[in-house]
Copies of this chain bind each other. A is one copy, B any other.
């Protein structure tokens, strides 16, 4: 396989009592450059899987692509390039903030942080769905427990898991989900579950695309919560199959 997602490496377990060899799996981290209509926009380290979706989600995170229907074609080239062709009027470079988050869309404009939000999609999620969603995502791939170096992100809508992606960056995994939405492959009217933290830009880009329910295995930050409140999104932290800790807009969680 030209793009394996793991590599194996002999390591040495050292303790005060002595040492022994073992074998570890590492997540494959590799740079890809994203172009839009043949103009280079940026590069990111990624786990080389779901690259079409990543390229499109990356451009969304940076504000170049804004809605489904704009993308004409995506080509993943062997030279480490993801070439996106899209029907976008002009490419405006915004003042950017490099975020506390990772990877693909580590740049967001101040305008995005302070601007108004479009209304979100409509959705509710029930506990039987939440349970199936979280357990399916956690069991969907052995990469997490094997490498301890990837984050997963899934999207649940219309009663089923619509997509699940992994990456070395928690942002990239979300970007792949957003890319799948922008490519028209999955809907946005549902819930996202991420194994990563819901910091500002994670929440921001999910809200910008209209996803109404955001769930994390772990925490949110102060600014992540502030953005979710402002956008009207349901933010649930420490999400477990039968327990959510809902930080705002709990009305979409139905028992």
Contact = CB atoms under 8 A, between A and B. Distances in A.
A107 interface: yes
Nearest to A8: B222
Given A11-B246, A243-B15, A26 B103 contact: no
A29 B149 contact: no
Given A16-B255, A149-B199, A222 B43 contact: no
A99 B197 contact: no
A232 interface: no
Interface residues of A, number: 68
Given A14-B243, A149-B197, 17 more contacts: A9-B247, A15-B242, A16-B255, A26-B220, A26-B222, A26-B224, A28-B221, A30-B222, A31-B97, A45-B98, A45-B200, A45-B223, A106-B106, A148-B197, A149-B199, A149-B221, A168-B199
Interface of A: 6-7, 9, 11-16, 18-19, 22, 24, 26-31, 42-46, 96-104, 106-107, 113, 127, 147-149, 167-169, 172, 197, 199-201, 218-225, 236-238, 242-247, 250, 253, 255
6 contacts: A14-B245, A27-B222, A30-B223, A99-B102, A147-B219, A168-B197
